[in-house]
A and B are shown apart, each in its own frame.
Chain A
Amino acid sequence: MELLLPFLAAVLIATGVYLVLSKTMIRLIIGLSMLAYGANLSILLAGSGTELAAPPLLTVEGPYVDPLPQALILTAIVIGFGTTALLMVLAVRAYQAAGTDHVQELLDHPDLLPPEGVYADPEHPSVSPEIGPDTNNINADEGAASNGAESKAEEEKA
């Protein structure tokens, strides 16, 4: 175990770095989560040498492993989970808006947009919050209402 875990952490981090260097968003996201797992594993390793005589706050006989690194990992996992979810949504949105999930293509064509009325993902047509009909439901203020009226007028023209 003593040798296996550092090796595993190294493999995870190396795989993560390799995937992060690729140009497809989904590979990047998988790479980032691997990087996070490697980081968590290395915390476990760094803290695993500290052996306590007794668990903190209790009077039970020891030896006990130090619980703090595990608390740190738990926190880091929760944070990583949230950010990965956000990144997934972001990648889907970018794919819907631009029709590609290739980072280089996004950079080469900064104004890349699918032709009007045609969506990259026909099953989930994306609508920008400023111009879309969604705004009407969310806010009943005059501004949103007039926005909605404008976009309706635009639709009628079309």
Chain B
Amino acid sequence: MNLVALPVLIPLVAGASLLLFRTARARTIFATLATLLTLLTSLLIAVRSLSGEVLVVQMGGWPAPFGITLVADGLTGIMLLLSGLSGLLTVLFAGSSLQHSPRRGQSALLNRAREAFGVQALFQFLLMGVNMSFLTGDLFNLFVSFEVMLVASYGLLLLGGELAQLREGFKYVVINLVASAIFVIAAGLSYGLFGSLNMADIALRLQANGLDSRVTMVAMLLALVFTTKAAAFPLGFWLPNSYPTPPVAISAFFAAVLTKVGVYALIRAFTLMFPGELTIQTIIFTLAGITMLIGSLGAIARQRWRYLLAFTNIASIGYLLMGAFSRSESGLSAALFYLIHSVLVIFTLFLIAGLAEKISGERYRNEGHLSVYPWLGVGFFISAIALAGLPPTSGFIGKYSLVQALFSYGDALSLIVASIAVISGLLLLYAVMLIWRGFFWGESDAVHLVNLPWAMSAVVVIAVALLLSLAALGGPIFNLSERVAKQLQTNQQYLSQVLPTPGLEPETEELR
């Protein structure tokens, strides 16, 4: 079934063809169509994989441990759907904000000069890398897709060449190159150790041979790489200043999806390959608690829209890792629900920040916008309380089930981390209310009505509507994430679909 390869192939072809178009309008239309097509194929895959199937493509017809395998199970389906949705909204927002070039030095919105240097094409390559990392079943191919994603993100981050972009971009490139070098070493070591790079094959060999200190070392290296990508404490210091520097549409996609690729890789590695490495999982669980606290405290200290939101993104990474590494199935399913919620809410908040920055600049201490832009205030309020986790939003469902899972697990560490989660939820509420009081509340004569293009506003409305529908459909979606968590706990179907004939294994003996 070649459907599985399409979310990788469509952006690749589209990205290459986008370089041929000469006008911005043609590029926007073509990119929108291509992303819509990617979203549709992702939807098809998600429908089939969420109903319990595991879709597998052996690239080039080479059977599993030898060739590269693309696999789509429930988790992949969810992630593809999320990346496709936010990709489409990003392309629409970037295209609609394009008509209004900002003044010099104001990087909030994409302007024509930058767009002419290939933002749309780079974004398609970014989408290709993201989708490939969700689909691949091969460790080295995961490295390659990370690199595809990262090289595209370097381009998107740096286009424009403002000093802040150069400074933060340099840091971003360096930290990612170091992480990539470690990933290469880990991949090489795991080939030497297991004689295979196929994740399902590694999982089977580990089941047969048991754990070993060398296995722990490889798992530790991989965990180091993936937590760097996910920006968990203490490896997340590169994120809060670098994500706000590119134009809004781009930084929204970065914050919503790119860090979640790291979380996805962690979940995949530690449910499929190393479920037995309990010490590492406990370490990541503890770090998740600190990540939440750092994220929410950092958010309070920030004076500018997107800089504050970047820290709330770090906090949400903490919540995700807390659930995923809580060593219980209910925690994992809560984390999967929270994953969907957090992609949508972070994305929406960044888009709203884009509109607000267009209205009154980067800082949010500028009162009295509620009376002039009432609908923007409503949209912000909904997503803000969703971020903080107050009922009746999806954030409440996610956080409540996360904390409940931890309390029912019940050892001392879980209780401590769960209380940190509650406290940092309150801190996040304080942080978003800083924006509410600073930007929307109060009265001011100095606020003027800036004409916002209808298409940008429409994208924000769609994003808020998606967030609301997640809350409304909370029950069915939560059941879905429970099913996916159950699938991830055993991975029986994944293994048997990827490696249908275990007898075919090459004669590489046990661990050398």
Contacts and interface: CB of A to CB of B under 8 A. Distances in A.
Give the interface centre of B164, B184, B189, B191 by most chain A CB atoms within 10 Å.
B184
Contacts of A146: 101
Given A32-B178, A43-B191, A139 B116 contact: yes
Contact of B164 (A32, A110, A129): A110
A112 B195 CA distance: 52
Interface in B163-216: 163-164, 166-167, 169-170, 173-174, 177-178, 180-182, 184-185, 187-189, 191-193, 195
A100 B185 CA distance: 33
Given A39-B185, A75-B144, A135-B116, A69 B191 contact: yes
Interface in A82-116: 82-83, 86-87, 90-91, 93-94, 97-98, 103, 106-107, 110-113
B111 interface: yes
A72 B178 contact: no
Interface string A8-50: 0000000010001000010010001001101110111111011
Contacts, number: 147
A102 B214 CA distance: 39
Interface stretch (B154-162, B310-318, B415-423): B154-162
A93 B161 contact: yes
A39 B112 contact: no
B187 A72 contact: yes
B160 A94 contact: no
Nearest to A94: B166
B191 A130 contact: no
A144 interface: yes
Interface residues on B, range: 35 or more
Contact of A32 (B143, B160, B177): B177
A143 interface: yes
A69 B193 CA distance: 12
B161 A83 contact: no
A141 B23 contact: yes
A5 interface: no
A93 B187 CA distance: 33
B501 interface: no
A112 B167 CA distance: 11
A4 interface: no
A98 B191 CA distance: 44
A98 B116 contact: no
Contacts of B98: 143
Interface string B309-328: 00000000000000000000
Contact of B177 (A83, A91, A135): A83
B99 A143 contact: yes
Contacts of B101: 143, 146-147
B157 to A, nearest CB: 10
A149 interface: no
B161 A35 contact: no
Interface residues of A, number: 54
Given A129-B161, A143-B112, A82 B187 contact: no
Contacts of B154: 83, 86
B181 A49 contact: no
Nearest to A42: B185
Contacts of B151: 79, 82-83, 86
Nearest to A131: B104
Contacts of B162: 128
A37 B178 CA distance: 12
Contacts of B285: none
Nearest to B175: A20
Contact of B191 (A32, A47, A86, A147): A47
**Most chain A beta-carbon contacts within 10 A, residue among B162, B170, B182:** B170
A54 interface: no
Interface string A112-132: 110000000000001011110
A43 B193 CA distance: 11
B147 to A, nearest CB: 5
Nearest to B163: A97
A93 B104 CA distance: 18
A43 B173 contact: no
Interface string B134-164: 0000001001100100010010001011111
Contacts of A28: 174
B43 interface: no
Nearest to B196: A68
A138 interface: yes
Contacts of B144: 75, 79
Contacts of B451: none
B187 A103 contact: no
Q: Name the residue in A25, A72, A146 with the highest tally of chain B Cβ atoms < 10 Å from its Cβ.
A: A72
Interface string B472-512: 00000000000000000000000000000000000010001
Given A43-B188, A72-B140, A111-B163, 9 more contacts: A25-B170, A35-B177, A47-B188, A93-B161, A97-B163, A98-B166, A128-B104, A130-B111, A143-B99
List the 4 shortest-distance A-B pairs measured between CB atoms, nearest first: A43-B188, A46-B192, A143-B112, A94-B166
Interface of A: 16, 20, 25, 28, 32, 35-36, 38-40, 42-47, 49-50, 68-69, 72, 75-76, 79, 82-83, 86-87, 90-91, 93-94, 97-98, 103, 106-107, 110-113, 126, 128-131, 135, 138-139, 141, 143-144, 146-147
22 contacts: A32-B177, A39-B188, A45-B192, A46-B189, A46-B191, A83-B173, A90-B166, A93-B166, A94-B163, A106-B167, A110-B164, A110-B167, A126-B161, A130-B113, A131-B104, A135-B113, A135-B116, A138-B116, A143-B99, A143-B112, A144-B116, A147-B112
